[in-house]
A = this chain, B = another copy of it.
């Protein structure tokens, strides 16, 4: 796998962990969360597996649904330790 292909992978992992952590904190299933975002459950699942190179507008939909600032969703933290 090329470096170019891997570009953004760390960031995708940070986003994945934060989304899962915030979603659990709100007691939302992937399906309920996806519905609030107006996205498909399988898409949310792939974001949580760090598979998606999401766009700003999707980031904003996640942030709005989770009540979290966008920058927080991209900040590496220990919030999701212990999940």
Chain A interface (Cβ < 8 Å from any Cβ of B): 7-8, 10-12, 15, 53-57, 59-61, 70-72, 74-75
- Interface SS of A by simple majority: helix
Q: How many identical subunits does the complex contain?
A: 2
Across the interface, A53 reaches (CB within 8 A) one of B12, B56, B71, B74, namely B56
Least distance between A64 CB and chain B CB atoms (Å): 9
User: When the two chains form their complex, are residues A11 and B70 in contact, meaning their CB atoms are under 8 A apart?
Assistant: yes
Least distance between A22 CB and chain B CB atoms (Å): 15
Distance in angstroms between the alpha carbons of A7 and B65 in the assembled complex: 13
Least distance between A17 CB and chain B CB atoms (Å): 14
Distance in angstroms between the alpha carbons of A75 and B72 in the assembled complex: 9
